[in-house]
């Protein structure tokens, strides 16, 4: 129900952000008849263009690397590239469609296990999310040649290789390898789908709006204040507010609103891609990360990176894009770091992190060598982070209802995950958002 007070609209719920979490709560609450307003920093963009909207922040990691490690793993000395997209749908638009269930079957400290340890259950919502996103394992008959070669090499080395679950409609998918641009074939789910559904259900949306503070009175949420596209300060009022602006923006908003304990820790879910020269591998034109080999806190998966080719050429190889084969090493980094009220980040690469990288690095090298890749051509990208979290963790900033110390103010993005899962978190964030939607709906 929409109420007017002193000429100001009072919404049932304001949702800040439209990524995996924001789009889900907006859609679910609007579907239930709640009057919802979504405030988004960006705007709608065309499918196929999202990489151009990706923002990259370079982070100089604190570390105690030995001189030997600096020599053997030079990529660890480079700044980490932390990426995100601030448009409708958030970073889901440039995802590769990975739908990991973040369960303890793959990693003992999975998100599901972290929540279970805190007596928080999202299993029902995870099943709902899986159904709505039409999650399916990547069919073996659609694997490309490089994916098949990597799977065979991994299995011969004794690794357990399995297909990656994806929120991709494989009847529509052209297997073009361009998921990160935003799917032009309507095959991959992203947050824009739920936002459009929310609008159909009556949700209002304001784009190009930068929220900088949550309004609250007598420790109860009252609304938000921010700057619109004309640089005008505007207030919106609501009974409940859900912050889902991403783990980099959410803590800034919460800090500026007086919430305590925010941003005292952060993880990046770090990855690097190792690769080398393999004539006519053509991995670039296959569906990325179609398979995976799990090793507890890290996993390996086929992945092409533009950073590999120039480095391979520097090694003296007459390589083209089609001659590059790569393997992503993604691991759960230690949740040590901070983010302040201006978004400045400090992050430490611990000895535990370095040891995991070295272990996974060797396994990836073993696969590449098994494929016949020349040792001299093997290179690695800088460390990267595309799934930051932990900045407003359950048990620290929000309770088991994902509510902050301000009554009626909730968080539902990767910020609430206490520790790095080492796995793509989108499906789990959708599940968290569905849980929050139920809690908020019952509280209005």
Mean pLDDT of 357-376: 98
| Other Cβ atoms within 10 Å of 269 Cβ, number | 24
The pLDDT value given to residue 5: 46
Interval 102-118: pLDDT, tens: 888 889 999 999 999 99
The pLDDT value given to residue 105: 83
The pLDDT value given to residue 267: 98
- Residue 24: Cβ-neighbour burial (10 angstroms; 0-12, 13-18, 19+): buried
Rounded to the nearest 10°, the torsion over CA 224, 229, 232, 233 is: 10
Report the distance separating Cα 318 and Cα 299, nearest Å. Answer: 30
Mean pLDDT of 51-69: 95
Interval 301-315: pLDDT, tens: 999 999 999 999 999
Tokens of 149: 């070669």
The span from the first CA to the last CA of the chain, in angstroms, equals 10
Share of the chain above pLDDT 90, in %: 96
Rounded to the nearest 10°, the torsion over CA 110, 113, 119, 123 is: 80
Give every CB contact of residue 412 below 8 A, 6+ residues apart in sequence: 21, 22, 24, 25, 242, 243, 244, 402, 429, 432, 433, 435, 436
Q: Rounded mean pLDDT of the chain?
A: 96
Share of the chain above pLDDT 70, in %: 98
Tokens of 396: 């620290």
The pLDDT value given to residue 104: 81
Tokens of 109: 């400290």
Report the distance separating Cα 50 and Cα 91, nearest Å. Answer: 9
Beta bridge partners of 15: 38, 242
Interval 345-361: pLDDT, tens: 999 999 999 999 999 99
Interval 221-242: pLDDT, tens: 999 999 999 999 999 999 999 9
Q: How confident is the model at residue 101 (pLDDT cuts 50, 70, 90)?
A: confident
436's enclosing H/E stretch is helix 426-443
Interval 377-390: pLDDT, tens: 999 999 999 999 99
The pLDDT value given to residue 102: 83
Tokens of 71: 């020599």
Calculate the alpha carbon distances from 172 to 130, 139, 426 in Å: 18, 13, 21
The pLDDT value given to residue 424: 94
Longest dimension (CA), the chain: 73
**Is pLDDT of 1 > 70?**
no
- Residue 319: Cβ-neighbour burial (10 angstroms; 0-12, 13-18, 19+): buried
| Other Cβ atoms within 10 Å of 160 Cβ, number | 10
Interval 7-54: pLDDT, tens: 578 999 999 999 999 999 999 999 999 999 999 999 999 999 999 999
Do residues 336 and 347 lie in contact, with contact meaning Cβ atoms separated by under 8 Å? Answer: yes
Q: pTM of the entire structure? A: 0.96
């Amino acid at each position: 129900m929409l109420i007017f007070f002193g000429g100001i609209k009072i919404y049932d719920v304001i949702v800040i952000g439209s990524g995996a979490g924001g789009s889900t709560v907006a859609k679910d609450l609007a579907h239930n008849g709640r009057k919802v307003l979504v405030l988004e920093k960006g705007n709608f963009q065309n499918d196929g263009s999202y990489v151009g909207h990706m923002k990259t922040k370079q982070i100089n990691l604190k570390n105690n690397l030995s001189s030997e490690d600096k020599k053997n793993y030079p990529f660890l000395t480079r700044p980490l590239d932390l990426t995100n997209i601030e448009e409708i749908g958030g970073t889901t638009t440039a995802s590769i469609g990975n739908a990991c269930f973040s369960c303890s079957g793959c990693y003992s400290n999975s998100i599901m296990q972290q929540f279970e340890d805190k007596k928080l259950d999202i299993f029902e919502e995870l099943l709902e999310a899986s159904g709505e996103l039409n999650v399916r394992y990547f069919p073996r008959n659609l694997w490309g040649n490089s994916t098949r070669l990597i799977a065979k090499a991994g299995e011969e080395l004794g690794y357990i290789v399995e297909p990656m679950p994806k929120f991709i409609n494989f009847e529509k998918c052209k297997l073009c390898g361009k998921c990160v641009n935003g799917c032009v074939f309507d095959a991959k789910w992203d947050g824009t789908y739920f936002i459009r559904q929310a609008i159909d259900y009556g949700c209002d949306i304001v784009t190009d709006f930068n929220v900088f503070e949550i309004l609250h009175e007598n420790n109860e949420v009252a609304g938000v204040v921010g700057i619109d596209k004309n640089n005008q300060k505007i207030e919106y009022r609501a009974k409940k507010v859900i912050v889902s602006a991403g783990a980099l923006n959410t803590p800034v908003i919460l800090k500026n609103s007086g919430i305590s304990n925010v941003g005292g820790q952060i993880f990046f879910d770090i990855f690097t891609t190792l690769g080398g020269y393999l004539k006519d591998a053509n991995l670039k034109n296959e569906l990325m990360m179609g398979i995976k080999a799990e090793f507890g806190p890290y996993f390996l998966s086929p992945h092409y990176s533009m950073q590999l080719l120039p480095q391979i050429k520097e090694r003296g190889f007459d390589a083209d894009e089609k001659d590059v084969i790569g393997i992503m090493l993604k691991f759960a980094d230690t949740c040590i770091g901070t983010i302040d009220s201006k978004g400045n980040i400090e992050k430490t690469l611990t000895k535990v992190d370095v040891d995991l990288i070295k272990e996974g690095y060797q396994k990836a090298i073993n696969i590449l060598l098994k494929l016949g890749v020349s040792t001299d051509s093997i290179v690695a990208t800088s460390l990267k982070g595309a799934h930051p979290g932990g900045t407003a963790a359950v048990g620290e900033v929000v309770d088991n209802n994902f509510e902050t110390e301000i009554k009626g103010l909730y968080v539902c993005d990767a910020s609430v995950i206490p520790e790095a899962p080492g796995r793509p978190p989108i499906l789990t964030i959708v599940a968290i958002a569905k849980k929050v939607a139920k809690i908020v709906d019952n509280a209005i």
